[in-house]
Amino acid sequence: MSSMNLATAPVAQIAIRVHDVDRAAQFYQDVLGVPFLFKFPGLAFFQAGQVRLMLSPAETGEHDHPSSVLYFKVQGIEATHTALKAKGVEFVDQPHLIHRAPTYELWMTFFKDTEGNTMGIMEEKPV
């Protein structure tokens, strides 16, 4: 039996708390363009790069709160921001510089999904 090494294990799936699975699924598929995989009663699954997203209601009251922030890495953060805003996405800020590194600038902006979860888009712009 091999030992467990989470330091190199990829993240395979992230659960995102939703109140209305159908409404959230439509947002992730039609507005954000995340590829839909399948539905199971009370759940919807999407493929975001190498990570599967599971939209599901909270199983208990203690879990009924917005989820962790997902950061979608893009090229062309300003154009992505404009396109999503045109689709009615509620942004909480504008694309802005977060950090300057020797070889890139890290830019981010944040938005809310239909369930009140904060999501981010980020770009590492070469300098």
What digits encode the pLDDT tens for the residues 43-72?
999 999 999 999 999 988 888 888 889 999
Alpha carbon distances (Å) from 28 to 14, 55, 76, 103, 115: 14, 9, 20, 32, 11
- Quick one: fold of 13-59+66-126? 2,3-Dihydroxybiphenyl 1,2-Dioxygenase; domain 1 (3.10.180)
Residue 36 has pLDDT above 70, yes or no: yes
What's the predicted TM-score (pTM) here? Answer: 0.86
